[in-house]
Chains A and B, each alone.
Chain A
Amino acid sequence: MSSRRSRVSEEEINELISKLQSLLPEARRRGGGRASAAKLLKETCNYIRSLNREVDDLSGRLSALMATMDNNSAEAEIIRSLLRS
């Protein structure tokens, strides 16, 4: 590690950890005091996995939807206007 990294303090780590904790959706957080690092890591991993699944699912639905759009549809117009902006 570079010399800058080796001076990373306990405090900086704690700060990142509490930021991570506040990033997780409400339901996943443990109320009150600081969660253990292990629990937090687990929740973070689960959160990332579920977000990836959502993207996957949305990709499928979007591709199905787009396949049925025609040139004159309002949806096509929406996309065109989004690209113009």
Chain B
Amino acid sequence: MQATKSFEQAFLKQMLLGIQLSAVSHGSGSLQERKSAIKLSADVAMAVARGSKKWTRGLIASLSKEEQNRSFLQFVLGKEFERPAKICHSSWKIPRSKNIVRRSLRFLSKRKSNIRAPNSSVLAGTLVEKRTQVLKRLVPGGQSMDAFSLLDETLDYAACLRAQVDVMQKLMTTLEASKHRADSDAQRPKEKFHLLPMVGSWYSTRKGLRKRLSKRPKLTL
């Protein structure tokens, strides 16, 4: 994926909506809580903006394992998230279908004999295998990927991560700059309100937010 402008725009919008949403529930929480909420918004926004890829599904799955994330995910993803077998079940990683088991066994036996692996000479060697394992842990959903998919998904995931960082950085810079201007201009005393009232004034009820988010993003899982 080329990190396109449309991805960045979709990501930004989705993230800001998510931040608003979490401000309703976490607005008066601890710094750590609010930080986690923003990170969650950013990650979900990245997955949603990208659409359906192995890593985006893997990311949503791992996020949903944590109890505190579930209501947010449910709200943003709606019906898609409710498919229990694929995501919420704690043992979803366990291969259930015969095909998955067959594929896993084949891949495992190929690891043992470097010569037989289709990706043999380029990716052979224990150091490569070790590092491939590390990469599998870093890329969401990586554990169940074959070597080719892993590389392919890694490329895509890294590009999206890069864009995520860039957009967040830009947002940060913009907000900081404007704040700096305001602070240096201000003669009158300024009252600092919390994020919660700010959200409250835009959408007075949760219902308002629901309307706003009614266009559910399509992330096929």
Which residues from chain A sit less than 8 Å from chain B, CB to CB?
Answer: 1-2, 5-8, 10, 12-14, 16-17, 19-20, 23, 37-38, 41-42, 44-45, 47-49, 51-52, 54-56, 58-71, 73-76, 78-80, 82-83, 85
| Contact B131–A59 (Cβ < 8 Å) | no
Query: Min CB distance, A49 to chain B, in Å?
Result: 7
| Contact B131–A49 (Cβ < 8 Å) | no
A79 to B194, CA, bound (A): 15
Q: With contacts A1-B146, A62-B171, A79-B16 known, is A13 near B123, CB below 8 A?
A: yes
Query: Min CB distance, B163 to chain A, in Å?
Result: 10
Does B101 sit within 8 A of A, measured CB to CB?
Answer: no
A18 to B72, CA, bound (A): 38
| Contact A61–B172 (Cβ < 8 Å) | yes
Of B62-70, B73-81, B82-90, B153-161, the stretch lying at the interface with chain A is: B153-161
Contacts of B120 in A (CB 8 A): 10
Q: With contacts A44-B135, A73-B182 known, is A1 near B168, CB below 8 A?
A: no
| Contact B131–A75 (Cβ < 8 Å) | no
Checking B134, B151, B168, B195 against A16 with a beta-carbon cut-off of 8 angstroms, the contacting residue is B151
Does B197 sit within 8 A of A, measured CB to CB?
Answer: yes
Number of interface residues of B (CB under 8 A): 69
| Contact B131–A38 (Cβ < 8 Å) | yes
| Contact A63–B31 (Cβ < 8 Å) | yes
Q: With contacts A54-B165, A70-B191, A73-B182 known, is A41 near B132, CB below 8 A?
A: yes
Which residues from chain B sit less than 8 Å from chain A, CB to CB?
Answer: 12-13, 16-17, 19, 23, 31, 34-39, 42-43, 103, 106-107, 118-123, 125, 127-128, 131-132, 134-135, 138-139, 146-149, 151-152, 154-155, 157-159, 161-162, 164-165, 168-169, 171-172, 174-176, 178-179, 181-182, 190-195, 197-198, 201-202
- Classify the secondary structure of B's interface with A: helix
| Contact A38–B128 (Cβ < 8 Å) | yes
Q: With contacts A16-B151, A59-B42 known, is A80 near B192, CB below 8 A?
A: no
Contacts of A10 in B (CB 8 A): 119-122
| Contact B181–A74 (Cβ < 8 Å) | yes
Checking B13, B37, B176, B193 against A63 with a beta-carbon cut-off of 8 angstroms, the contacting residue is B37
| Contact A17–B151 (Cβ < 8 Å) | yes
A1 to B102, CA, bound (A): 8
| Contact A71–B165 (Cβ < 8 Å) | no
A9 to B151, CA, bound (A): 14
| Contact B122–A82 (Cβ < 8 Å) | no
Contacts of A49 in B (CB 8 A): 138
Sampled A-B contacts (30; CB under 8 Å): A1-B103, A1-B146, A10-B120, A13-B119, A16-B148, A20-B151, A37-B122, A37-B123, A38-B127, A47-B158, A48-B138, A49-B138, A51-B158, A51-B164, A52-B161, A58-B169, A63-B34, A63-B38, A65-B175, A66-B38, A66-B195, A67-B194, A68-B192, A69-B175, A70-B191, A70-B193, A70-B198, A74-B179, A75-B182, A80-B202
